[in-house]
Amino acid sequence: MPTAVQLPTGKALTVRTAADVFLDSLGNPNTVRSYATGVGKTAQRLGEGRPLASVADDKIGEALELFWGAAAVNTWNARRASVLSWLSWCRERGHEAPAVPVWARRMAVPDSETPARSRMAIDRLIARREVHLREKTLYRMLFETAGRADEILGVNIEDLDFAGRRCQVKAKGTKAKSRRRGQAREDFALETVYWDAGTARLLPRLLKGRNRGPVFVTHRRAGPGKIVSPRDVCPDTGFARLSYGQARALLDEHTAVRGPGTGWDLHEYRHSSLTHLGEQGASLLMLMAKSRHKKPENVRRYFKPSPEAIAELTSLLAPGDSRR
């Protein structure tokens, strides 16, 4: 186990110190070697002696573009993932740190589509001892609800209907409804997602008696000076809501086998859920109801039956006595 190193507090944390302590915290030598390139070169570009809290998000994106903007897609994704993990790690420990800007997004591999993972692969990932209970619950909830990751991460405990195994989420692309003067601006259209026994078993263990605030939170308080909405902080622990970027980096850490940036994507749980429901015979209308899509063509791209399912379907066309 690597020796724990205490990070300086507040704005005393320099870019180089943050990078060194992060890399020292990694236990796997292969991960250290892989992450060292992205984190090391980015830190050097930012200015190793400057406070990490003073770095703007766009400077992170500019460094990534400078070094790997013209690189292969897998290289870009790997370097971006290493920097994302570094900065998320710092924020989880209560330090002010920039984020990878939205415009420096992860790139899709050419000629590839979001895969549907097998139920066995999903179950094995959730059963692994090194996967924290928070991630186990998130992965199971994403799969059972077929919800979008940002929707599920945005759920608060007050939104949960434990008896009905459901909750309401703010749907993608919704806007504030027409409102009369004086009405609250938080009057959004909501949609309901449903989960099953797997999520129902894990949620109470995750919440540990908490009854308000975000369902999924970081393991540290928000850094000093960081502006966070009251809805995004647990009023009992002070822990901030787990962000999409942090959740994505954790999933990549658990599933990457060819270096950072090559692991699963959070969106794959939605694809996998709808594909398995389709293979079990769910109609297009039921898949639309589950996914909350309004157009059939949008659901079809999520349904990616396995070769085994296609083979079994094809067997129905064989002569009547061929399967006797």
**Which residue among the candidates 148, 221, 248, 276 is catalytic per the annotation?**
148
Residue type, 252: D
Residue type, 253: E
**Which residue among the candidates 165, 166, 170, 293 is catalytic per the annotation?**
293
**Which residue among the candidates 270, 271, 276, 290 is catalytic per the annotation?**
270
The burial of 90, by beta-carbon neighbours within 10 Å (0-12 exposed, 13-18 middle, 19 or more buried), is given as buried
- Of 234, 286, 294, 248, the C-alpha closest to 149 is 248
Q: Which residues pair with 239 in a beta bridge?
A: 221
Angstrom CA distances, 18 to 6, 25, 77, 197, 239, stand at 10, 11, 21, 41, 21
Q: Is 293 a catalytic site residue?
A: yes
Q: Is 180 a catalytic site residue?
A: no
> Cα–Cα distance between 22 and 96 in angstroms, integer?
14
Residue 29, C-beta contacts closer than 8 angstroms, at least 6 positions apart: none
> Cα–Cα distance between 64 and 79 in angstroms, integer?
8
Q: Is 219 a catalytic site residue?
A: no
Q: Is 267 a catalytic site residue?
A: yes
Q: Is 148 a catalytic site residue?
A: yes
Q: Is 302 a catalytic site residue?
A: yes
The catalytic site residues sit at 148, 177, 267, 270, 293, 302
